[in-house]
Amino acid sequence: MSTNAALAVGLGLGAVLLTLDPGAFHLEWEFPWLRGAAERIALCIAAGATVLALGWLYRLLFCPLELLRTPDEVGYIAEDGRTKAQAANEARSRRRVGELPPVYPNGWYRVLDSHMLARGEVKNVYILGQQLAVFRGHDGIAYVLDAYCPHLGANLAVGGRVLGNCIECPFHGWQYRGTDGKCEKIPYAEKVPEFAQVRRWPSCEVNRQVLIWFHCDGLEPQWSIPEQEEITNGQWVYRGRTEHFINAHIQEIPENGADIPHLDHLHTPGIPSGVDLRYTNSKTWEFVRHDWKVEWEPEPEPNSHCSQMRVNHSLTLFGCRLPLLDLRVVARQVGPGVVFLRFNHSFLGQGIMMHCVTPVEPLLQCVTHTMFYQSNIPAVVPKFILKGESIQFERDVMIWNNKKYIAKPLLVKEDSAVRRHRRWYNQFYSENSPRLKYQKDTLDF
Ligand code: FES
Ligand SMILES: [Fe+2]
């Protein structure tokens, strides 16, 4: 039973027992202890309910918001008695994907948040269609290696042990260095062959996240992820994160930022209208509207791998704008997979939301939003912003999960930023960038 349900039941029972008068049923003559017992039970339930209510309030006010959606949970319409998983599978198998760009652009991608990887811990991560062993050495540094041991193929991250800055294979005990992937020791062999090594992925740890660099030609990083000082120095603190899995090509997600007209259509209905696009335009919540003024521009050299979306958001209730709730956001995209959204509000303070898109497979993206906010602003404020963002985002998810990629879209003048965005994003593909292969004989991708 959820906390909310337990609370409701507890309060309900408490209320019933508190009003229960055994005298009305002449029960106290036969069972004189009953009144005392009923009172004691009522008191216990009321106390339990109060504890639950206080716990709920504490969580609301002080704990981070963690909203982790499963791949089928959002963005599909389950009708005619089908489960969400069935609806998702059907939509996936029926969809036409279109003429896709390469599937893994060159750039930095979030692997996990720093707190998820303790010293001496190893995690098996599946991203970019690869099995990776991500581990934190006893030197405190996070390393990323290919997970499969070249000896006989065991997965280093499943039962492997961290020794110093090496990972030891669980099968025969070969040890690989995190720094370069070289095999340092074979416990039963006299000599370690020169070529015994696994692939090391360039990685960095910044803004409390571990990221890896992907380049189809194996080139070393060509730019870095900018450190956000307020996160590093603790001025802004962690207030939560959301996680979504999206069935779409990666480019669809950042392109949304340059698709300015969609904001007025998809994101204008108020947050209470929810995420199901069949009902977001219902009359019930018509009085709550969001207004968006947005510009999108690429940055000049030497930051041509960055672009900026400047957003002025205002809220109207019954047609009246509430200027006190105006919010300015600058969303700076750094490469294909990381965006920093900086919030600035006159009295609700400042903070940053990191939006990271990491391809899991060609048509499956893991998207996280991680919120850091001024520590002196009550957690409920950034949590509300994060929740609001997540509702708006889930509307996009329903579009992405069901759409086709159109290589030559039919655009009008007002859509021009989409074209410019595609030109800008094109820089992250190179000749050898992997493409989705379609196998005609099996009809499988
Ligand atoms: S498979 Fe890894 S040491 Fe043998
Ligand atoms: Fe959107």
* Tens digits of residue pLDDT in 373-426: 999 999 999 999 999 999 999 999 999 999 999 999 999 999 999 999 999 999
Considering the domain boundaries, does residue 145 fall inside one?
yes
Which residues line the pocket of ligand 1, CB cutoff 6 A?
Answer: 149, 151-154, 169, 171-172, 174
302 and 348 within one domain = yes
168 and 242 within one domain = no
Give the pLDDT confidence of 110-154 residue by residue, as tens digits: 999 999 999 999 999 999 999 999 999 999 999 999 999 999 999
122 and 158 within one domain = yes
Considering the domain boundaries, does residue 368 fall inside one?
yes
pLDDT over threshold 50, residue 279: yes
Closest atom of ligand 1 to 149 CA is: 2
Considering the domain boundaries, does residue 442 fall inside one?
no
| Predicted pLDDT at 324 | 82
Q: What is the mean pLDDT of the chain?
A: 91
Percent of the chain exceeding pLDDT 90 equals 79
74 and 194 within one domain = no
Please tell me the number of the ligand nearest to residue 171's CA: 1
Q: Which residues of 83-103 are buried (b: 16+ CB within 10 A; e: fewer)?
A: ebeebbeebbeeeebeebbbb
Task: Tell me the average pLDDT across 419-442.
Answer: 86
What is the extent of the structural domain holding 133? 107-214
Q: Which residues of 396-417 are buried (b: 16+ CB within 10 A; e: fewer)?
A: bbbbbbbbebeeeeeeeeebeb
CATH code for the domain in which residue 383 is found: 3.90.380.10
What is the 17 CA–ligand 1 centroid distance (Å)? 65
Confidence of residue 444 (pLDDT cuts 50, 70, 90): very low
Considering the domain boundaries, does residue 412 fall inside one?
yes
113 and 87 within one domain = no
Nearest CA among 97, 428, 23 for reference residue 247? 97
347 and 411 within one domain = yes
Query: What does the DSSP 8-state code read for residue 67?
Result: E
What is the 155 CA–ligand 1 centroid distance (Å)? 8
Query: Distance (Å, rounded) from C-alpha 375 to C-alpha 311?
Result: 24
What is the 193 CA–ligand 1 centroid distance (Å)? 14
Counting the structural domains of the chain, the total is 3
Nearest CA among 244, 256, 201, 242 for reference residue 364? 244
